[in-house]
Amino acid sequence: MDGKIMSKMKNSGIHNNRSYSGKSNAGRGEKYISLFYGGLLLLFTGVIYSWSIFVAPLELEFGWDRSQTSVVFVLSMAGYNMGSMISGVIICRYSHRITLSISAVLLLLGFLGASRLDSLMEIYVFYGVICGLGIGIAYNTVVSTVLTWFPDDTGTVSGLLLAGYGISSFLLGPVINWMLYEGAGWRDTFDIMGWMFCGLILGACVIIRKPPAAQWIAKDSEGEGKEISPGQMLRRQSFYLFFGWLICIGSIGLGVIGSGAVLPLDMGVNSAEAAWIAGVLSVGNAIGRLLYGRLCDRKGRSFGMGTAAVSAGIASLGLLSAQLLGNSVVLTGAYLFIGLAYGSLPVLITYFCTRQYGTRYRSINLGILNANGMVTSVLGSWGSGALYERTGSYTAAFCVMIGISILALVLWKMVNQELKKENRYGTDKDTVRWKKEDGVSGWNDI
């Protein structure tokens, strides 16, 4: 790397051997305030996973069937992933405050529009697409911004941030359920959620800040010193292997999450116990994010991927056993392992992205990696439902999940081998040159 580029790196706070760690008194309060408020905001925006709560009153009022309303969740996940990618580009070019402001407007528009809907297409557009976009933008912006304060604790801080996102439906679901049936009704509930989310996100524009010298390179990373642009990332084999692994674990997770309380009900469990068993998914999801955050920082990315794949396999076997034996205790244990495995994904995505591709383009690279949700929402939620309709039970779906968990283990080994090759020999893709000091140099810089 020539002297001019080295000079730019020094002037912008980027160093090869050390970087801003936030251990000085300057900014110490701001970074923990940003972490706390970011976690609080993600707790509320995690309500995207609570769509099933709104299904019953809407189906009752409009006469829609389950296949029609299930499309809303798929659209919201697609919107969420698109929002995550879009926000990455905007953050790099402008600031996190602009992206958060866009998110606030989208969520207000989406929920207010949903509260006034009279047709199926309106719920698809307002709740599915617009709210999904708003939540995806907020998610990626908060994670990308807060992590700049904690370069050496990527996994742990990601777990803390995302735990609230994972347990959101468990904590806020009962409140929303009460508002729907005993309080304001679904129209006013959507109204309240729109204004509440808008206020919380606009508050984040003021409260969440970046460190005075943005951290770009973490210590002891697998790809230390590398800043990989999106174009370079998309030309690496390890990216596609890791993306495939994410699809495997995500499909298993969403295949169960999409069914929620339906599985225990099919086994003859009463509605109260079924709701409790379904809640174990959210608890496991939150614990998984905290657990894998710490595991990644202590044991590394490979250990995290391997144990998550094993957890998904154990859960799939447990689901099949529970179905064949009609045992709700086994089903509860399987739900816990599913939650743990699925909860590992956002933490491992963030950790892998930071350690392998650096932090200069992290917001864009994160958005691309999070796009796995567009595939998993179809394969998982829709796929398991389609198998159920064809066979009349979830037995076939659980057998497929066992096969997918084995594939995840194979992909884990392949990722490890490919990364060893890339890190040992390097490629011309591992050098980044900037066209201008403060701008984004493009997706294909080499």
Residue 272 confidence class, pLDDT cut points 50, 70, 90: low
State the pLDDT at residue 333.
93
User: Could you give the percent of the chain with pLDDT greater than 90?
Assistant: 33
pLDDT tens, position by position, 46-84? 877 777 778 778 888 888 876 788 788 888 888 888 898
pLDDT higher than threshold 80 for residue 9 = no
pLDDT tens, position by position, 282-325? 888 889 988 998 888 888 899 999 999 999 999 999 999 998 88
Distance CA 240, CA 244 (A): 6
pLDDT higher than threshold 80 for residue 425 = no
pLDDT tens, position by position, 429-439? 333 333 333 34
Distance CA 407, CA 415 (A): 12
The stretch 395-424 carries a mean pLDDT of: 92
Mean pLDDT of the chain: 80
pTM of the complete model beyond 0.85: no
pLDDT tens, position by position, 339-378? 999 999 989 998 999 888 988 888 889 889 988 888 887 7
> Helical H runs in 63-131?
66-93, 96-115, 120-123
Residues with Cβ within 8 Å of 403's Cβ and at least 6 positions away in sequence, in order, are none
State the pLDDT at residue 338.
92
pLDDT higher than threshold 70 for residue 427 = no
C-beta of residue 132 within 8 angstroms of C-beta of residue 48:
yes
> Helical H runs in 223-300?
230-233, 237-257, 262-266, 271-299
State the pLDDT at residue 238.
93
Domain ranges of the chain: 12-218, 220-424
The stretch 261-285 carries a mean pLDDT of: 77
State the pLDDT at residue 394.
83
C-alpha torsion angle, residues 46, 48, 50, 52 (rounded to 10) = -160
pLDDT tens, position by position, 384-409? 777 877 887 788 889 999 999 999 99
pLDDT higher than threshold 90 for residue 200 = yes
C-beta of residue 330 within 8 angstroms of C-beta of residue 320:
no
Q: 414: left (phi > 0), else alpha (psi -120 to 50), else beta? A: alpha
State the pLDDT at residue 18.
36
pLDDT tens, position by position, 92-140? 788 889 999 999 999 999 999 999 988 899 999 999 999 999 999 998 8
The stretch 179-190 carries a mean pLDDT of: 85
Distance CA 282, CA 431 (A): 41
> Helical H runs in 358-394?
362-369, 372-376, 383-391
- Here the tokens at position 202 are 């606009």
pLDDT higher than threshold 90 for residue 241 = yes
Rg (CA), the chain: 22
The residue among 395 and 18 whose pLDDT is bigger is 395
Residue 442 confidence class, pLDDT cut points 50, 70, 90: very low
State the pLDDT at residue 127.
92
Q: 52: closest CA among 230, 247, 274?
A: 274
For the domain bounded by 12-218, which CATH number is listed? 1.20.1250.20
- Here the tokens at position 428 are 């011309």
CATH class of 220-424: mainly alpha
Q: Give helix 51-62 / helix 154-181 axis angle, nearest 10°.
A: 30
The stretch 178-195 carries a mean pLDDT of: 87
Neighbour count for residue 84 (Cβ, 10 Å): 29
pLDDT higher than threshold 70 for residue 159 = yes
pLDDT higher than threshold 60 for residue 216 = no
The residue among 205 and 29 whose pLDDT is bigger is 205
The residue among 220 and 100 whose pLDDT is bigger is 100
State the pLDDT at residue 175.
82
Amino acid at 55: V
- Phi (first) and psi of residue 212, to 5 degrees: -60, -30
Sign for the pseudo-dihedral over CA of 189, 191, 197, 199: negative
Fold agreement between 12-218 and 220-424: yes
